[in-house]
Amino acid sequence: MKRFKMAACHAAAGLVAACLGVAGLSATASAAGGLDLSGKTVEFVIPFSEKGGSAKWANFYAPLLSEALPGNPTVVVKYMPGAGSTKGANWFQQQKYEDGTVIFGSSGSTQFPYLLGDPRVKYEYGDWNVVLVSGTGGVAYLPPDIAKKFDGDADDLKDINFIWGSQGATRLDLVPMLAWEMLGMKVEAVFGIESRGNGRLMFERGEANIDYQTSAAYLKSVVPLVEQGKAVPMMSWGALDGEGNIVRDPTFPDMPTFKEVCEATKGCSTSGDAWEAWKAFFIAGFPAQKMIFLPNGAPDEAIATYTKAIDDILARPDFPKLSEARLGIYPQMTGKQAKVALKLGTDVPDGPKAYVKTWLKERFGVELKK
Protein backbone atom coordinates (compact mmCIF):
# COMPACT_ATOMS: atom_id res chain seq x y z
CA MET A 1 0.00 0.00 0.00
CA LYS A 2 2.71 2.37 0.98
CA ARG A 3 4.72 1.56 -2.11
CA PHE A 4 1.70 2.13 -4.31
CA LYS A 5 1.19 5.56 -2.83
CA MET A 6 4.78 6.49 -3.37
CA ALA A 7 4.59 5.45 -7.00
CA ALA A 8 1.50 7.56 -7.50
CA CYS A 9 3.32 10.37 -5.85
CA HIS A 10 6.17 10.24 -8.30
CA ALA A 11 3.95 10.00 -11.33
CA ALA A 12 2.02 12.96 -10.07
CA ALA A 13 5.18 14.92 -9.55
CA GLY A 14 5.88 14.51 -13.23
CA LEU A 15 2.55 16.05 -14.10
CA VAL A 16 3.16 19.06 -11.93
CA ALA A 17 6.44 19.66 -13.57
CA ALA A 18 4.95 19.26 -17.01
CA CYS A 19 2.94 22.36 -16.34
CA LEU A 20 5.80 24.45 -15.05
CA GLY A 21 6.69 25.75 -18.46
CA VAL A 22 3.21 26.38 -19.75
CA ALA A 23 1.54 27.85 -16.72
CA GLY A 24 1.07 31.18 -18.37
CA LEU A 25 -0.31 29.82 -21.60
CA SER A 26 -3.02 27.50 -20.42
CA ALA A 27 -6.35 29.04 -21.23
CA THR A 28 -8.13 25.74 -21.00
CA ALA A 29 -11.52 26.35 -19.47
CA SER A 30 -14.13 26.58 -22.15
CA ALA A 31 -17.24 25.75 -20.15
CA ALA A 32 -17.63 28.92 -18.15
CA GLY A 33 -21.33 29.46 -18.40
CA GLY A 34 -23.73 29.39 -15.52
CA LEU A 35 -22.09 31.19 -12.65
CA ASP A 36 -22.76 34.91 -12.69
CA LEU A 37 -21.56 36.87 -9.71
CA SER A 38 -22.68 40.35 -10.68
CA GLY A 39 -23.69 42.46 -7.74
CA LYS A 40 -22.36 39.89 -5.31
CA THR A 41 -19.51 40.02 -2.83
CA VAL A 42 -17.04 37.17 -2.88
CA GLU A 43 -15.39 36.52 0.45
CA PHE A 44 -11.83 35.33 0.09
CA VAL A 45 -11.26 33.87 3.55
CA ILE A 46 -7.73 33.29 4.77
CA PRO A 47 -7.06 31.67 8.14
CA PHE A 48 -4.45 34.29 9.04
CA SER A 49 -4.28 37.84 10.29
CA GLU A 50 -3.52 40.90 8.22
CA LYS A 51 0.18 40.34 8.78
CA GLY A 52 2.32 37.99 6.80
CA GLY A 53 2.68 36.37 3.44
CA SER A 54 -0.78 34.89 3.02
CA ALA A 55 -2.44 38.27 3.46
CA LYS A 56 -0.11 39.71 0.85
CA TRP A 57 -0.82 36.88 -1.54
CA ALA A 58 -4.60 37.09 -1.04
CA ASN A 59 -4.62 40.85 -1.45
CA PHE A 60 -2.64 40.44 -4.64
CA TYR A 61 -5.22 38.11 -6.15
CA ALA A 62 -8.43 39.68 -4.75
CA PRO A 63 -8.64 42.70 -7.08
CA LEU A 64 -7.49 40.64 -10.06
CA LEU A 65 -10.23 38.09 -9.36
CA SER A 66 -12.76 40.87 -9.11
CA GLU A 67 -11.86 41.94 -12.64
CA ALA A 68 -11.72 38.43 -14.07
CA LEU A 69 -14.81 36.77 -12.58
CA PRO A 70 -18.05 36.99 -14.57
CA GLY A 71 -20.16 39.88 -13.29
CA ASN A 72 -17.16 41.57 -11.66
CA PRO A 73 -18.15 40.89 -8.05
CA THR A 74 -16.48 42.75 -5.22
CA VAL A 75 -13.82 40.45 -3.80
CA VAL A 76 -12.93 41.12 -0.18
CA VAL A 77 -10.23 39.36 1.79
CA LYS A 78 -11.58 38.20 5.10
CA TYR A 79 -9.17 37.33 7.89
CA MET A 80 -10.03 34.50 10.22
CA PRO A 81 -6.89 33.91 12.27
CA GLY A 82 -6.58 31.53 15.16
CA ALA A 83 -5.16 28.23 16.36
CA GLY A 84 -2.30 28.29 13.87
CA SER A 85 -4.74 28.62 10.94
CA THR A 86 -6.68 25.47 11.89
CA LYS A 87 -9.61 27.56 13.13
CA GLY A 88 -10.27 29.08 9.73
CA ALA A 89 -9.74 25.77 7.96
CA ASN A 90 -12.16 24.01 10.32
CA TRP A 91 -14.68 26.75 9.61
CA PHE A 92 -14.25 26.26 5.87
CA GLN A 93 -14.73 22.52 6.26
CA GLN A 94 -18.24 23.22 7.57
CA GLN A 95 -19.19 25.42 4.63
CA LYS A 96 -21.37 23.91 1.95
CA TYR A 97 -21.23 25.30 -1.56
CA GLU A 98 -24.05 27.76 -2.15
CA ASP A 99 -23.50 30.38 -4.80
CA GLY A 100 -19.75 30.51 -5.21
CA THR A 101 -19.24 33.56 -3.03
CA VAL A 102 -16.98 31.87 -0.48
CA ILE A 103 -13.43 30.88 -1.35
CA PHE A 104 -10.65 29.84 0.98
CA GLY A 105 -6.90 30.45 0.82
CA SER A 106 -4.80 27.81 2.55
CA SER A 107 -1.07 27.81 3.16
CA GLY A 108 1.79 25.57 4.25
CA SER A 109 0.90 26.45 7.84
CA THR A 110 -2.50 24.88 7.24
CA GLN A 111 -1.05 21.78 5.58
CA PHE A 112 1.58 20.98 8.20
CA PRO A 113 -0.83 20.45 11.14
CA TYR A 114 -2.95 18.35 8.79
CA LEU A 115 0.05 16.19 7.87
CA LEU A 116 1.29 15.93 11.44
CA GLY A 117 -2.06 14.88 12.87
CA ASP A 118 -2.60 17.96 15.04
CA PRO A 119 -5.63 17.25 17.26
CA ARG A 120 -7.18 20.57 16.32
CA VAL A 121 -7.45 19.58 12.67
CA LYS A 122 -11.03 18.77 11.72
CA TYR A 123 -10.65 19.46 8.02
CA GLU A 124 -10.03 17.22 5.07
CA TYR A 125 -8.27 18.56 2.01
CA GLY A 126 -9.84 15.83 -0.09
CA ASP A 127 -13.28 17.41 0.39
CA TRP A 128 -12.30 20.74 -1.09
CA ASN A 129 -12.04 21.86 -4.70
CA VAL A 130 -8.74 23.43 -5.60
CA VAL A 131 -8.72 26.18 -8.23
CA LEU A 132 -5.23 27.62 -7.82
CA VAL A 133 -1.87 26.49 -6.44
CA SER A 134 0.88 29.05 -5.93
CA GLY A 135 4.36 27.78 -5.23
CA THR A 136 7.46 29.38 -3.83
CA GLY A 137 11.04 28.48 -3.05
CA GLY A 138 13.51 29.23 -0.29
CA VAL A 139 17.16 30.04 0.21
CA ALA A 140 19.46 29.38 3.17
CA TYR A 141 22.29 31.85 3.74
CA LEU A 142 25.33 32.27 5.96
CA PRO A 143 27.50 35.06 7.30
CA PRO A 144 30.63 35.64 5.15
CA ASP A 145 33.15 34.25 7.67
CA ILE A 146 31.33 30.92 7.92
CA ALA A 147 30.56 30.86 4.21
CA LYS A 148 34.32 30.62 3.56
CA LYS A 149 34.23 27.11 5.01
CA PHE A 150 31.41 26.09 2.72
CA ASP A 151 32.61 24.71 -0.59
CA GLY A 152 29.55 22.91 -1.88
CA ASP A 153 29.52 20.35 0.92
CA ALA A 154 28.81 20.80 4.60
CA ASP A 155 31.75 18.68 5.83
CA ASP A 156 33.57 21.68 7.27
CA LEU A 157 30.47 23.11 8.94
CA LYS A 158 29.98 20.26 11.37
CA ASP A 159 32.01 21.77 14.19
CA ILE A 160 30.31 25.14 14.13
CA ASN A 161 27.61 25.95 16.66
CA PHE A 162 24.84 27.37 14.55
CA ILE A 163 21.98 29.31 16.01
CA TRP A 164 18.92 30.66 14.26
CA GLY A 165 15.61 32.33 14.95
CA SER A 166 12.64 30.10 14.24
CA GLN A 167 8.88 30.49 14.39
CA GLY A 168 8.35 26.98 15.72
CA ALA A 169 9.34 23.39 15.11
CA THR A 170 6.05 22.39 13.52
CA ARG A 171 5.90 25.36 11.15
CA LEU A 172 7.43 25.84 7.71
CA ASP A 173 10.75 26.11 9.56
CA LEU A 174 10.67 22.33 9.89
CA VAL A 175 11.96 22.00 6.32
CA PRO A 176 15.25 23.94 6.74
CA MET A 177 15.78 22.55 10.23
CA LEU A 178 15.55 18.98 8.99
CA ALA A 179 17.78 19.79 6.02
CA TRP A 180 20.56 21.20 8.20
CA GLU A 181 20.34 18.23 10.55
CA MET A 182 20.64 15.83 7.63
CA LEU A 183 23.85 17.64 6.66
CA GLY A 184 25.18 16.92 10.13
CA MET A 185 25.19 20.58 11.15
CA LYS A 186 24.63 21.47 14.80
CA VAL A 187 21.85 24.05 14.64
CA GLU A 188 20.17 25.36 17.74
CA ALA A 189 16.76 26.88 17.14
CA VAL A 190 15.67 29.93 19.10
CA PHE A 191 11.90 29.59 19.01
CA GLY A 192 9.37 32.34 19.40
CA ILE A 193 10.14 34.89 16.69
CA GLU A 194 7.00 36.33 15.20
CA SER A 195 7.94 36.43 11.55
CA ARG A 196 10.73 35.32 9.27
CA GLY A 197 11.63 38.99 8.92
CA ASN A 198 12.55 39.02 12.58
CA GLY A 199 14.74 35.99 11.95
CA ARG A 200 16.58 37.98 9.31
CA LEU A 201 17.03 40.87 11.75
CA MET A 202 18.60 38.46 14.25
CA PHE A 203 20.98 37.38 11.51
CA GLU A 204 21.80 41.00 10.66
CA ARG A 205 22.48 41.76 14.32
CA GLY A 206 24.80 38.78 14.62
CA GLU A 207 22.52 36.98 17.07
CA ALA A 208 21.91 34.23 14.57
CA ASN A 209 24.55 32.83 12.23
CA ILE A 210 22.32 31.02 9.79
CA ASP A 211 18.91 31.81 8.36
CA TYR A 212 16.62 31.16 5.42
CA GLN A 213 13.93 33.19 3.67
CA THR A 214 11.27 32.32 1.15
CA SER A 215 12.02 33.55 -2.37
CA ALA A 216 10.18 36.87 -2.37
CA ALA A 217 11.64 37.88 0.99
CA TYR A 218 15.09 36.72 -0.05
CA LEU A 219 15.01 38.78 -3.23
CA LYS A 220 13.71 41.79 -1.38
CA SER A 221 15.74 41.84 1.80
CA VAL A 222 18.68 39.45 1.62
CA VAL A 223 19.99 40.23 -1.86
CA PRO A 224 20.92 43.77 -0.69
CA LEU A 225 22.84 42.18 2.20
CA VAL A 226 24.60 39.85 -0.21
CA GLU A 227 25.57 42.84 -2.36
CA GLN A 228 27.00 44.58 0.70
CA GLY A 229 29.00 41.47 1.58
CA LYS A 230 27.06 40.83 4.79
CA ALA A 231 25.51 37.54 3.75
CA VAL A 232 26.35 34.69 1.36
CA PRO A 233 23.75 32.31 -0.06
CA MET A 234 24.36 28.68 0.91
CA MET A 235 21.76 26.73 -1.04
CA SER A 236 18.21 26.84 -2.34
CA TRP A 237 15.66 24.17 -1.49
CA GLY A 238 15.24 23.58 -5.20
CA ALA A 239 12.21 23.03 -7.43
CA LEU A 240 10.52 19.97 -8.93
CA ASP A 241 11.27 18.81 -12.47
CA GLY A 242 9.49 16.55 -14.97
CA GLU A 243 10.50 13.32 -13.28
CA GLY A 244 9.55 14.46 -9.79
CA ASN A 245 13.20 15.13 -9.06
CA ILE A 246 14.50 18.13 -7.26
CA VAL A 247 16.42 20.41 -9.60
CA ARG A 248 17.83 23.92 -9.43
CA ASP A 249 15.33 26.63 -8.64
CA PRO A 250 14.65 28.66 -11.82
CA THR A 251 14.69 31.84 -9.73
CA PHE A 252 18.17 31.00 -8.39
CA PRO A 253 19.85 28.96 -11.15
CA ASP A 254 23.36 29.65 -9.84
CA MET A 255 22.77 28.27 -6.38
CA PRO A 256 23.26 24.60 -5.54
CA THR A 257 20.16 22.89 -4.21
CA PHE A 258 19.98 21.14 -0.87
CA LYS A 259 19.97 17.89 -2.80
CA GLU A 260 23.33 18.66 -4.43
CA VAL A 261 24.83 19.72 -1.11
CA CYS A 262 23.49 16.60 0.58
CA GLU A 263 24.98 14.36 -2.11
CA ALA A 264 28.36 16.01 -1.66
CA THR A 265 28.30 15.81 2.12
CA LYS A 266 29.48 12.77 4.03
CA GLY A 267 26.73 11.05 5.96
CA CYS A 268 23.88 12.74 4.09
CA SER A 269 21.82 10.50 1.86
CA THR A 270 19.26 11.32 -0.82
CA SER A 271 17.35 8.13 -0.22
CA GLY A 272 15.77 6.51 2.77
CA ASP A 273 13.27 7.68 5.36
CA ALA A 274 14.88 11.01 6.21
CA TRP A 275 15.13 12.06 2.59
CA GLU A 276 11.58 10.97 1.73
CA ALA A 277 10.30 12.80 4.81
CA TRP A 278 12.18 15.97 3.93
CA LYS A 279 10.97 15.85 0.36
CA ALA A 280 7.33 15.34 1.33
CA PHE A 281 7.30 18.28 3.71
CA PHE A 282 9.32 20.39 1.29
CA ILE A 283 6.65 19.88 -1.38
CA ALA A 284 3.86 20.72 1.06
CA GLY A 285 5.70 23.78 2.29
CA PHE A 286 7.15 25.24 -0.91
CA PRO A 287 6.05 24.15 -4.41
CA ALA A 288 2.48 23.56 -3.17
CA GLN A 289 2.40 26.23 -0.50
CA LYS A 290 -0.63 28.37 -1.14
CA MET A 291 -3.93 27.27 -2.64
CA ILE A 292 -7.40 28.65 -3.32
CA PHE A 293 -10.37 26.35 -2.75
CA LEU A 294 -14.09 26.27 -3.39
CA PRO A 295 -15.99 24.53 -0.61
CA ASN A 296 -17.21 20.95 -0.50
CA GLY A 297 -19.95 20.26 -3.01
CA ALA A 298 -19.04 22.91 -5.56
CA PRO A 299 -20.49 21.98 -8.98
CA ASP A 300 -18.21 21.58 -11.97
CA GLU A 301 -19.45 24.78 -13.59
CA ALA A 302 -18.39 26.84 -10.56
CA ILE A 303 -14.97 25.22 -10.54
CA ALA A 304 -14.68 25.84 -14.27
CA THR A 305 -15.71 29.49 -13.86
CA TYR A 306 -13.09 30.12 -11.21
CA THR A 307 -10.45 28.17 -13.10
CA LYS A 308 -11.12 30.23 -16.20
CA ALA A 309 -10.99 33.47 -14.25
CA ILE A 310 -7.63 32.54 -12.77
CA ASP A 311 -6.33 31.34 -16.14
CA ASP A 312 -7.35 34.72 -17.55
CA ILE A 313 -5.44 36.45 -14.79
CA LEU A 314 -2.37 34.32 -15.47
CA ALA A 315 -2.64 35.07 -19.17
CA ARG A 316 -2.74 38.83 -18.67
CA PRO A 317 0.20 40.37 -20.49
CA ASP A 318 1.12 42.35 -17.38
CA PHE A 319 0.88 39.34 -15.05
CA PRO A 320 4.59 38.42 -15.08
CA LYS A 321 5.47 41.97 -14.17
CA LEU A 322 2.77 42.27 -11.52
CA SER A 323 3.56 38.96 -9.89
CA GLU A 324 7.32 39.10 -10.09
CA ALA A 325 7.46 42.03 -7.70
CA ARG A 326 5.12 40.46 -5.19
CA LEU A 327 5.15 36.69 -5.50
CA GLY A 328 8.50 35.88 -7.16
CA ILE A 329 8.76 33.90 -10.40
CA TYR A 330 6.94 30.71 -9.55
CA PRO A 331 4.38 28.53 -11.21
CA GLN A 332 0.77 29.39 -10.58
CA MET A 333 -1.14 26.22 -11.34
CA THR A 334 -4.79 25.66 -12.18
CA GLY A 335 -7.01 22.82 -13.38
CA LYS A 336 -5.55 19.33 -13.48
CA GLN A 337 -2.06 20.48 -12.52
CA ALA A 338 -3.43 22.15 -9.41
CA LYS A 339 -5.16 18.91 -8.41
CA VAL A 340 -1.93 16.99 -8.79
CA ALA A 341 -0.02 19.54 -6.71
CA LEU A 342 -2.72 19.40 -4.05
CA LYS A 343 -2.36 15.65 -3.87
CA LEU A 344 1.41 15.88 -3.61
CA GLY A 345 1.22 18.49 -0.89
CA THR A 346 -1.46 16.86 1.23
CA ASP A 347 -1.39 13.13 0.55
CA VAL A 348 1.87 12.09 2.16
CA PRO A 349 2.69 8.42 2.83
CA ASP A 350 2.65 7.25 6.43
CA GLY A 351 6.37 6.43 6.53
CA PRO A 352 7.68 9.99 6.10
CA LYS A 353 4.93 11.34 8.36
CA ALA A 354 5.89 8.98 11.14
CA TYR A 355 9.57 9.80 10.65
CA VAL A 356 8.95 13.53 11.10
CA LYS A 357 6.73 12.99 14.12
CA THR A 358 9.38 10.89 15.83
CA TRP A 359 12.07 13.42 14.94
CA LEU A 360 10.01 16.31 16.34
CA LYS A 361 9.45 14.41 19.54
CA GLU A 362 13.04 13.29 20.05
CA ARG A 363 14.71 16.46 18.92
CA PHE A 364 12.38 19.13 20.33
CA GLY A 365 10.10 17.27 22.71
CA VAL A 366 7.14 18.40 20.62
CA GLU A 367 4.21 16.03 20.61
CA LEU A 368 0.90 16.71 18.95
CA LYS A 369 -1.76 14.96 20.91
CA LYS A 370 -4.73 15.67 23.05
Partner 1 sequence: MDLLSTALPALGEAFSLIFHPEQIMFLMLGVLLGLSVGVFPGLGGIAGLSMVLPFIYGMDPVSGLALMVGLVAVIPTSDTFASVLMGIPGSSASQATVLDGFPLAKKGEAARALSAAFAASLFGGLLGALILTFFILIARPLVLAFGLPEMLMITLLGLSMVAILAGRVALKGVAAAGLGLMVGTIGEAAAAGSLRMATYDIPYLIDGLKLVIVGLGIFAVPEIVALLRQDRPISRSGGLGAGWLDGVRDWASNLFLSFRCAIIGVIVGVIPGLGGSVVDWIAYGHTVQSTKDKRRFGSGDIRGVIGPESSNNAKEGGGLVPTLIFGIPGSGSMAVFIGGLALLGYDAGPQMIQSNLDLTYTIVWSLALANVFGAGLCIAFSTGIARLTTIRFSLLGPFLFMLISFAAFQSGQSLGDLVALFVIGLLGIFLRRFDWSRPAFLIGFVLSHQAENFSNMAHQVAGAKFRVSLESGFSYIASPIVLGILALTVLSVVIGIRQAKQILPEGEVPTGRKRAPFVFLLCVTGYLMIAWIDAMQIRMMSDKIFPVTVSSITLICCLLLLIRMMRAPETDIIFTDRAADTEDINAAHSLWGTLAWFAGLLVLSSLIGFVLALPLFLVSFLRIRAGLNWPRVLILSAAGIGFMIAMAGWLHRDFPPGLLQELVRLPWPLGDA
Interface positions with partner 1 (CB under 8 A): 41, 43, 49-52, 55-56, 59-60, 62-63, 74-80, 82-84, 87, 101, 119-120, 161, 163, 165, 168-170, 188, 190-195, 197-198, 201-202, 204-208, 220-221, 224, 325-326, 364-366, 370
Smaller CB distance to partner 1: residue 87 or 353? 87
Minimum Å gap between C-beta 63 and partner 1 is 4
Smaller CB distance to partner 1: residue 53 or 238? 53
Smaller CB distance to partner 1: residue 168 or 242? 168
Smaller CB distance to partner 1: residue 120 or 353? 120
Please write down the long-range contacts of 265-273, taking CB distance under 8 Å and 24 or more positions apart.
265/153, 265/154, 265/155, 265/183, 265/184, 266/153, 266/155, 266/184, 267/184, 268/154, 268/182, 268/183, 268/184, 269/182, 273/351, 273/352, 273/355
Minimum Å gap between C-beta 275 and partner 1 is 26
Which positions ≥6 away from 268 have C-beta within 8 Å?
154, 182, 183, 184, 261, 262
Which positions ≥6 away from 140 have C-beta within 8 Å?
176, 179, 180, 210, 211, 212, 233, 234, 235, 236, 237, 258
**Single-letter code of the amino acid located at 359:** W
Minimum Å gap between C-beta 155 and partner 1 is 21
Minimum Å gap between C-beta 342 and partner 1 is 26
Smaller CB distance to partner 1: residue 26 or 59? 59
Taking a C-beta distance cutoff of 8 angstroms, is the pair 290, 107 a contact? yes
Minimum Å gap between C-beta 293 and partner 1 is 18
